[in-house]
Structure 1
Amino acid sequence: MYKRYKHLSLIIALMIIALSLIGCTNKKTDNGDGLDNSAPNESSLSIEDDFGNKVSFDKAPERIISLAPSNTEILFALGLGDKVVGVTSYDDYPEEVLEVEKIGDFSAINLEKIIELEPDLVIIYGEGNEEENARLKEAGIPVVGFEPESIDEIIDTINKIAKITGKTAEADSLTNSMMEKRDEIVNKVKGSPKVRVFYEIWHDPLMAAGPGSFMDQLIELAGGENIAKDAQDEYPQFDLEQLVERDPEVYLTSADMPEKTPEAMMARPGFENISAIKSGQVYVLDPNIVSRPGPRIIEALEIVAEKIHPEIFK
């Protein structure tokens, strides 16, 4: 679901509503706090994004456009909802965002409308489209992109967005709460037997959440063992023979299409001998929670943990 997801371009169109993500590129390593320490006279409202773009403000932005639901959720969680003047048509949380001006979706944004809204800042997911970014910058609109791939990186993104919007105190409260809840969940499952888990990214061809994906991290933190953890990339194809051989005890996926139900999945040819199918431990999760790298990622962790270890979360 991230920068290394570009090889899934043939299925992105089908998954976009559920996954709420866009194509990506290689990510720049940050120094941990998001600051450009090489510039001693920088404004305190300064960061470097995940792709080397540096922005600095004399005062906190008053008009912000978000081009990804995850970033929108971060802005609202920081108390910046009244500053958000434009979002994509996929943005649906929190409820207040439904009243915000829509400026397109991931496949096509309305640049003219964005410029017309006169934002002080545009926040994108990933590196974005080079031509669109150039047009926005020509119009004098700063653009920053973030592509977190783990809980720690999501927290770092929250802190960076907070730093340029003057919301560092709110970010401290939010991220501390997230980390406390994460630790609480991890401690609950500590010492429990590892449960074999498969997370289905796509069904035709069958694709898994492999090593380096944040779902891989969630499974491990939740006391599971990702049966695709030794794959060659983050989102590998997984053939049926391999799936049956590794025999997951819990089968997870997200609702990327209406017809994907536990019953339909359990009726798939060849699946009948899988332990998760036999026991009925097949779960279709809310994609808006488990697929968005924002503040609700801890809620996603708890959901995954409940499915893997229901005996602990009764």
Structure 2
Amino acid sequence: MSGVMSRMGKVTAALLTIIVVAIALIATITLYEWSAHKSVTRVASYVYYSSPNFEIVSYNGTSITVENYGSNVTMKIPVKRIVADNTVAMQILIDIGAGNTVVGIEGYAKELPWLFGNLTTLPAVSQGMWSWNYEEIINLKPNLVIEWSYGVQTVRGKLSPFGIPVIGYGPQDNLSSFIYLLGLITNHTGNAVKLIDFINNVHQVLQRGLSKVPTRYKAYVIFDYEYSLWFTSGPSGDPYWAAVNAGLQPCFNKSMQVEPSAVLQCNPDVIIAVTWSLNPHSLNTTAYCESIINSIRSNPILNATNAVKYGRVIVIPGYLTEGPPQLIVSLYIASQVYPSAFAGVNATQYLNQYFEEFLRTAEPGGTWWCSG
């Protein structure tokens, strides 16, 4: 009897062992499939947001390779130290909660404390469009450098021997793709999607209003009022797209110095003057904004246009035409140009919402634009 009981005990123990092993195996397979599914889902999500210059080549959860401006760029995930030599990248990283990854910034960003707060005290790695401090970049030991599209090839060539990956972003790239990529490499994809959803919501408001507009106005876009009245913005400049998204037809489709007579020949219905130095919280901001309008009115060439005749001169800050706030600027322009189609729409409210929910380094309130 004892022998039988002993054999039964061994059989029972063996069965229990088999059951435990089976459960462990099932759990392992399930965990693997879940992990694989999670990875595939993240890649699939990225494919949804994929676009030229932001095409995913490979992704395994610990690294990602992206085709960007002619090169396959590989980054380890998460990226913890970023030189954001591009104000759009800087905005987005702050917006998605990854501002603490920024260790170096674009020189122009230091002039915008009302947007970027204490991050303006970080080292600047560039001054102007074609001047980089490579020694500073290398000393910052970044895992990634983000440049404007015009300079990415140059900087990539200089930093390649040091094994520092470089990607670029420009005005004609897909913003949602860029946002999602930055979310993916910093482990902030959820916040990235929230930002994309906010931008899409503004776009829907804009499109609803423009659907009520039968005729689109012509616009003359002054790229930099402080520089010249006759230098216009084309597709390579963000202000151009702010105008196009507002339902306007730019007089010129190239960033260039134009003849005053050519502007008069176009006879724009709207003049958009872009200033890159407007401090929204300065005591004389409103007066300065209005002085730009008055100077355009007093110009003998511009005074003869329909824009001045019908009071459609709009002043906007150039730094808000870049990245996530661009569509909000477009919404402001459209609301001033087509008031009946945008009745009840307040672009400033959307700007304040953007600051409160995303760009929390910015200071709400103040004067960000004007028209007349």
TM-score range, shorter chain: 0.7 to 0.9
Decide which structure has the larger Cα Rg and report it.
2
Displacement over 6 Å in runs of 4+: 257-260
For residues 288-307 of structure 1, what are the alpha-carbon distances to aligned partners after superposition, in whole Å with 9 as ceiling and x for unaligned? 112x2x11122222222123
Query: Quick one: structure 1 residues 166 and 206, their matched pair in 2 at CA, closer, same or farther if it must change by over 3 Å?
Result: same
- Relative to structure 1, the CA distance from residue 164 to residue 55 in structure 2 (aligned partners, 3 Å threshold; closer, same or farther) is farther
Q: Choose which of 100, 104, 119 in structure 1 pairs with 2:126.
A: 104
Matching residue of 1:241 = 261
Which digits, 9 at most, give the CA deviation of each residue in 1:164-203, with x for residues without a partner? 2222222111111101111111202322242332212257
Matched-pair identity in % = 19
In structure 2, the CA distance between the partners of 1:283 and 1:131, relative to structure 1 (3 Å rule), is: closer
Change (3 A) 1:139 1:88: same
Question: Structure 2 CA distance, aligned partners of 1:166 and 1:235?
Answer: 37
Displacement, 1:32?
8.2
Instruction: Establish whether residue 184 from structure 1 lines up as the match of residue 213 from structure 2.
Output: no
In the alignment, what sits opposite 1:82?
Answer: 100
Q: Runs of 5+ in structure 1 lacking a partner?
A: 1-28
In structure 2, what is the equivalent of residue 170 of structure 1? Answer: 191
**Counterpart for residue 296 of structure 2:** 265
Correspondence 1:169-248 to 2 at 5 A: 169-193=190-214, 194-201=216-223, 204=228, 206-210=230-234, 215-228=239-252, 233-248=253-268
- Deviation digits for residues 223-277 of structure 1 (CA, Å, limit 9, x no counterpart): 333333xxxx532554333322332221102015788711112211223321111
Q: Where does residue 16 of structure 2 map in the other structure?
A: none
Contact 1:34 / 1:160 at 8 angstroms: preserved in 2?
no
Query: Is the CA contact (8 Å cut-off) linking 2:53 and 2:67 kept in structure 1?
Result: no
Q: TM-score, normalised by structure 1?
A: 0.76
Please give the TM-score of this superposition, normalised by the length of structure 2. 0.65
The SS at the match of 1:56 is: strand
Distance in 1 (CA, whole Å) between partners of 2:152 and 2:330 is 31
Larger relative contact order, structure 1 or 2 (CA cutoff 8 Å, min sep 6): 1
Matches within 5 A, 1:1-314: 30=51, 34-36=55-57, 39=58, 43=61, 45-91=63-109, 92=112, 93-106=115-128, 107-128=130-151, 132-149=155-172, 153-193=174-214, 194-201=216-223, 204=228, 206-210=230-234, 215-228=239-252, 233-256=253-276, 261-290=292-321, 292=322, 294-311=323-340, 312-313=342-343
Given that residues 96 and 191 in structure 2 are in contact (C-alpha distance below 8 angstroms), is that contact kept between their aligned partners in structure 1?
A: yes
Are the structure 2 counterparts of residues 267 and 170 from structure 1 closer, same or farther at C-alpha, using a change threshold of 3 Å?
A: same
Change beyond 3 A, Cα 1:115–1:103: same
Farther-moved stretch of structure 1 (87-96 vs 204-213): 204-213
Quick one: which amino acid aligns to residue 121 of structure 1?
L
Deviation, 1:210, is: 4.3
SS in 2 for 1:35: strand
Q: 1:158 to 1:279 in 2, by over 3 A?
A: same
- 2-structure distance, mates of 1:147, 1:100: 23
Q: List alignment gaps of at least 5 residues for structure 2.
A: 1-49, 279-287, 345-372
The one-letter code matched in structure 1 to 2:213 is: S
- Cα distance in 2 for partners of 1:210, 1:94 equals 27
Which structure shows the higher helix fraction? 2
CA drift of 1:129 comes to: 6.2
1:271 maps to a residue whose letter is: L
Kindly report the root-mean-square deviation, in angstroms, between the aligned alpha carbons of the 2 structures: 2.9
Cα displacement string for residues 4-48 of structure 1 (whole angstroms, at most 9, x for unaligned residues): xxxxxxxxxxxxxxxxxxxxxxxxx95586211xx5x75564142
Q: CA deviation at 1:213?
A: 5.7
| Contact 1:122 1:142 (8 Å CA) reproduced | yes
Give the match's secondary structure for 1:118.
coil
The residue type equivalent to 1:87 in the other structure is: I
Q: Secondary structure at the match of 1:197?
A: strand
